[in-house]
Structure 1
Amino acid sequence: MRIGYACINTSLPTKFKTCRLATFEKKGPDIIKELTINNLQNVLAALKWNVEHNMYFYRISTEIVPLGSHQNMTWEWWTDKDILSLTSTIKQFKEKHNIRLSMHPGQFTVLSTPRDDVLERSFLDLEYHDKVLNLVGGSDMIIHGGGQYGNIELAKERFIKHYHMLSDSIKEKLRLENDDRTYALEDVISIYRKCGIPICFDIHHYICHNRNGILENMMEHVFESWKPFGRPKVHISSGKTHVKDRSHHDYVFKHDFNRLLSLVGDREVDIMVEAKLKEQAVLRIQHEVFSPS
């Protein structure tokens, strides 16, 4: 079992830099390259810190290459020798220490959309994330179902149709997560049954939004969905003010983590901790749950 966190390391701290479109149009690709090198160096620094603290799972920021998926981007960053040198170093470090790397495209990357322009941008964004993951040796790209657009059954059919339009490289990495408002675990399972996409189970999202199905039975489908793709990946967070608060707490409570472990049983999984204090939350879990009393 590997336990990790997302993007920012508050102990270093990690400093990922972004760029506005107007700045790119004024200064050109050189500013994007400068920021990308900075961001990749921060990834490497975070990974080294993680290994020192027995953390072998890490979500890479979606902003590694600022504007990397924008249609106006002219710089072919994935062929730049300086970028390839850094990503190769990250990949070698990842392989040496058996680190799992993932990414999580943002909320505007949706496959259920009825709009052609949104779908085109979503495809571009998934291609961008796929390129990053290929260069650093990452394995997982997590997305949500998106909106229901007045009819969730039709939205799910569009998701399935658009999923089949993706490249094999993207489909090998893409995982569908249940969300806390629209796509309950039952919906995600129904999509999986028709296209085979692995299910990234989020226990806090399930607590916030479910249709009262028998969770233990649904978890069998979750783990089944991963069989062609390796070890399952699951998410955990605790509500900020109460159990169904969609906002994340600074930490994950011990009883919440133990509930997830009870659902996992003796299966091998990797757990992404989604807490405001990032690696500090993982350190607390390591102490409270796994350290001898």
Structure 2
Amino acid sequence: MFSLQLFSANPNPFLRPKPYPKSKRTHVSSVLQWNRKPELAGETPRVVVITSGKGGVGKTTTTANVGLSLARLGFSVVAIDADVGLRNLDLLLGLESRVNYTVVEVLNGDCRLDQALVRDKRWSNFELLCISKPRSKLPIGFGGKALVWLVDALKAREGGSPDFIIIDCPAGIDAGFITAITPANEAVLVTTPDITSLRDADRVTGLLECDGIRDIKMIVNRVRTDMIKGEDMMSVLDVQEMLGLALLGVIPEDSEVIRSTNRGYPLVLNNPPTLAGLAFEQAAWRLVEQDSMKAVMAEEEPKKRGFFSFFGG
């Protein structure tokens, strides 16, 4: 058994219970406050790009789960799949059969923007927008300016501007990456605790800052406590020290991710919830309030008298 203590970076963002007397001191302190709606910080719509540089670290999974978590918290969300060649966000959301029009058809004048938006039947305040269909050719002029026009059109639509516009960025740092980050004013960097991901994440952080995006937070994905304990995996504290970014969330390794992907049913909709699903919900909560978390030490059983780094809330 391990006892985890979770702390928020903001001084007093959560309603805490009255502390126990010293004679009844407990090792567990819950900080997430589920009996209230989080307070939306910043100007809306919040345009957030989810990126990493390296492929396969969980960008699309993060986009699907954080996006639906925001919708479940009561905020209107438009998720844009900006990966032109390898579109997958619709599969993870189970909406692939309903994507009839894309941004390409909108730009060509074949349909209206509202026709290209796919509304999730489970949560009507969540909508998906795909840039193009697989194997289709983009217009020659499509790039960052076209995506900025698209975001501006979402802001000005008759139904009202969404609270969040989340852009699922393609892997790499080529033209697709530049296009995806152009309209964003904040970024979520997804990484895993391995040296290849961290090198790419560090490079992407520099590119985001050069593009004027200063609000950058990271999500550390696929964390395994057993490997951290055996010193076979870097701890979240190590990752945070290497990248120097505010920590938005820590997602534990979870075999349910593969099942949910194949079913087109995001983790956050599972009942009962999984650990990874709860971690995504916590990350979405912090994103709303522009909060962050701190990696702390988790104490092992007293008889072992050891410490290892894991994560905080």
Could you tell me the TM-score, scaled by structure 1's length?
0.43
Q: Which has the higher contact order (CA 8 A, sep 6+)?
A: 2
More helix by share: 1
More strand by share: 2
Structure index of larger Rg: 2
